Amino acid sequence: MRIWQLDFYRHPNENAVWYLLITDATRSFIYEATIPQSQANSSWVATQIQQIGNLPDIIQVFRPQSLSIVEAAGRNLGIKVEATRRTSALKEWLQEKQYPATLDKPPPMPLPENLWGDEWRFGTLPAGDVEEIFSDRPIPILQVPDFLKPINLGLASTTPIPGVVIYGGRQSMRLARWLQDVSPVSLSYIAGAPDGLVLEAGLSDRWVVVTFEDKEVTTAAQNYQQRKQQSQGLHFLLVQPDDSGMTYSGFWLLQEVD
């Protein structure tokens, strides 16, 4: 499958000019072009994509401001456009050119109250069990992408993978569907007053999942964050109705993205 990474945005040194950068995950090719802002539209982007030839199956976009234009160009060309933060090759290229590669982080929004479950806790799974544990159990929403499987990250099977378990009670399935809709990326401990867990989702969305002031919970949160350093940032989020271990609503394998 051919996958390209694309950015289309205002030139950092020329406000009336937009730049287009296109590459793939290995930077086996690069393509760049500029256009006056007054002419920057999806038709021009589609034309540039066509000029490269050997069109991709998927074009990945990390910048929210680029997404609608690229989606329109993709529709014209019959190419799927994927919104994702995981465009490391493109971001490296942007940094080399001293173009903006990081997004402004908005203040996190509170999780809708009608979605919150009964309780939650931190947990761990051995890396060797992450893929196996749900293979023989029915779970409505299961997100374990190949590129995040511990074996593909070179993690030893005994490496503890930290995570957060939410017991959703009657809201369990509703919460799992909401999470699926917002596309979870990572879940991090943020120190503050109070401390909390912040979910990074979509391209730039941020949500406060829970807050706490208990010292023991803070210590557990710090341990959770430290374990992520040992697991290459890999962690999980599990939603289930209760702690019986009989039924599950959703499981996501996550990894922090710069």
In this predicted model, what pLDDT tens digit does every residue of 11-64 receive, in sequence order? 998 889 999 999 999 999 999 999 999 999 999 999 999 999 899 999 999 999
* pTM of the predicted protein model: 0.89
What DSSP string runs through 140-172? SEEE--GGGSGGGGT--TT-EEEEEEEE-GGGH
Rounded to a whole number, what is the largest CA-CA distance in the chain?
A: 60
CA distance 234 to 253: 7
At residue 234, what is the residue type? L
How many Cα neighbours within 13 Å face the side chain of 44?
14
Q: Check pLDDT > 80 for residue 135.
A: no
CB 175 within 8 A of CB 123: no
Q: Check pLDDT > 90 for residue 138.
A: no
What pLDDT score does 118 carry? 74
Q: Check pLDDT > 80 for residue 225.
A: yes
Q: What is the CATH number of domain 3-96?
A: 3.30.420.10
Categorize the per-residue pLDDT at 166 as very low, low, confident or very high, splitting at 50, 70 and 90: very high
The region that residue 74 occupies, defined by phi over 0 for left and psi between -120 and 50 for alpha, beta otherwise, is: alpha
Q: Where are the domains of the chain?
A: 3-96, 109-255
Which of 21, 97, 123, 84 is CA-nearest to residue 257?
84
Mention every residue, 6+ apart, whose C-beta is less than 8 A from residue 102.
258
Packing angle between helix 42-52 and helix 64-77, nearest 10 degrees?
60
Q: Check pLDDT > 90 for residue 193.
A: no
pLDDT digits over 51-86, tens only? 998 999 999 999 999 999 999 999 999 999 999 999
Q: Check pLDDT > 90 for residue 158.
A: yes
